[in-house]
Amino acid sequence: MHPQTELCRCFIHPVEVPPKPKRGRKRRTWRDVILPGIVEALRPYAHTSIVFDVETTVDAHSGQVAKIVYWQEHGLRYVDRCALFAEGLLTPEVTDVCFREGVAYNRLTCTPEDTEIIKAHAAKHGLCCMEMQDFITKIFYRQAWLNKFIPEPKLLLGHNVVFDVGALSHHTGQSRDPKYVRRSVVRYLHLSPNRN
């Protein structure tokens, strides 16, 4: 039995468009700003992350649409990472701090009773509570920023991220690049069982 290969290629369009640099200047990226020592100290990943899990509808005809999502944001602000690095205390364990967590509900798939239960649970446990669309635009799509000009990557973590992103999406389609379409078809045929 072959290990399953998940086929997913997502393009997340940032909600915020960074200001355009002045003419004649090279646009700086996080690689130009974050000290190499910080990147080395925090290997394999030196940036913030989101851990999330989506629960979906379960009936066969629903298409397993997202119903509720639990999420946590982990990491430290860049200035805090720099301070720890200067003191020689910067490690991946120190920076794995949950600074915000919450729950979001889909008002299209949750009943009013479900929504009240979710809000009560969030209030009881001190979680942020919001609608699914707000989670997508304000948490999931929002990039981390080193400053107002330089975005920083954000890692998405979950048990089955491909399935969860699919449940959150409202539109799917084939890649416009033919080489990815061919590769996906070949992998699918390779992994699918023989049919007579």
Alpha helix ranges (H) inside 87-129: 92-95, 112-125
pLDDT at 76 > cutoff 80: yes
Q: Which domain holds residue 143?
A: 30-191
Could you tell me if 99 and 126 are in contact, meaning their C-beta atoms sit under 8 angstroms apart? Answer: no
In a domain, 13, yes or no: no
Q: What's the confidence (pLDDT) of residue 77?
A: 87
Q: What's the confidence (pLDDT) of residue 180?
A: 58
In a domain, 85, yes or no: yes
> What does the CA dihedral 131, 133, 137, 141 come to, rounded to 10 degrees?
110
* Total-model pTM: 0.71
Q: By three-state DSSP, how is residue 70 classified?
A: strand
Q: Which residues pair with 131 in a beta bridge?
A: 105
Q: What is the share, in percent, of the chain residues with pLDDT greater than 90?
A: 33
Average pLDDT over residues 80-100: 91
Burial of 186 (0-12, 13-18, 19+ CB in 10 A): exposed
pLDDT-derived band at 22 (thresholds 50, 70, 90) equals low
In a domain, 181, yes or no: yes
> What is the number of H-type helices and E-type strands within the chain?
8, 7
Mean pLDDT of the chain: 78
Output the six-digit token pair for 71. Answer: 């999420």
In a domain, 142, yes or no: yes
In a domain, 162, yes or no: yes
Output the six-digit token pair for 42. Answer: 């925090």
In a domain, 22, yes or no: no
Counting the structural domains of the chain, the total is 1
Q: By three-state DSSP, how is residue 47 classified?
A: coil
pLDDT at 190 > cutoff 60: no
Q: Give the Cβ contact number of residue 64 at 10 Å.
A: 15
Instruction: Tell me the per-residue pLDDT of 101-125, one tens digit each, with 9 for 90 and over.
Output: 999 999 988 999 999 999 999 999 9
In a domain, 105, yes or no: yes
Average pLDDT over residues 79-92: 92
In a domain, 6, yes or no: no
pLDDT at 62 > cutoff 50: yes
Q: What's the confidence (pLDDT) of residue 173?
A: 64
* 88-92, 95-99, 172-176: the lowest-pLDDT one: 172-176
Q: How far apart are the first and last CA of the chain?
A: 19
